[in-house]
Amino acid sequence: MNIEQLSKRLETVVSYIPTGSKIADIGSDHAYLPCFAVRKGIADSAIAGEVVQGPFLSAEKQVKDASLEDKIEVRLGNGLEVISPGEVDCIIIAGMGGALIASILEDGKEKLEGVERLILQPNVSAKSIRIWLIQNNWELTNEEIIEEDGKVYEILTADRGEPLRPYHEEGHQKGLLLGPFLMQQKNEAFQKKWMQERAQWKKILSNMEKAEQTGVLNERKVELMNKIQMVEEVLSN
């Protein structure tokens, strides 16, 4: 991967950036994404945020090597602390766990003024993000699930709007877990992900059952059984 040729995962993320945006890529690592988006004329300018010194230096080098210093600023700092309110209109946070992405958004809430789009690519637990979006009045407007090199990735896009619009009341819990858009499409990557998750939960459940007295129900077991049931309902529909 380089700034001319992104991974399919990052290219999918870029495809949701509105043309002409001022973007912030939080946890930018090598800064491939902002360099690509600015080079292609998709983003007008970018801030690449990094909390770790090593990736921060490699982002700086990447931007300098691409001669994009006039359009891309690399800043060292935790989460959204690298941006000021009103400075960007689109925030990208990719390649981290969903709980970490949600906590970055929560901790930097006051920096979201003027931001119109969030593009979030959690490696796990997209549910934490869907919950945060609802609690903070962001409407999930698009979801994509893709497979690359045997790994499955989810890309969530949110705009300011009506947070419950994509969810149907009776299927709300399923929507939070599986994604209201993704569970309609049920593409191959989706089926693969949830068949794997289901198999893993079943294994955990059976190990728990072996270790316990039969018939004992605890919270964790009930949670796993509910999740297995939700996944089975969606996959078989």
By CB under 6 A, name the binding residues for ligand SAM: 10, 26-29, 49-52, 55, 78-79, 94-96, 104
Nearer to ligand SAM, 55 or 180 (CB): 55
Nearer to ligand SAM, 91 or 183 (CB): 91
**Closest distance of CB 74 from ligand SAM, Å:** 12
Q: CB under 8 Å to 188, separation ≥6 — which residues? A: 147
Residue 13 phi, psi (nearest 5): -55, -50
**Closest distance of CB 209 from ligand SAM, Å:** 36
Nearer to ligand SAM, 79 or 179 (CB): 79
Residue 91 and residue 37 in contact, taking contact as beta carbons nearer than 8 Å: no
HSE-up of residue 189 (Cα within 13 Å, Cβ side): 16
| Tokens 């380089």 found at | 2
Write 142-145 long-range contacts (CB < 8 A, 24+).
142/16, 142/181, 143/179, 143/180, 143/181, 143/182, 144/12, 144/182, 145/179, 145/182, 145/185, 145/187, 145/189, 145/190, 145/193
**Closest distance of CB 140 from ligand SAM, Å:** 20
**Closest distance of CB 78 from ligand SAM, Å:** 5
Q: Produce one character per residue of 44-75: b if its CB has 16 or more CB atoms within 10 Å, e if not.
A: ebbbbbbeeeebbebbbebbeebebeebbbbb
Nearer to ligand SAM, 12 or 141 (CB): 12
**Closest distance of CB 53 from ligand SAM, Å:** 9
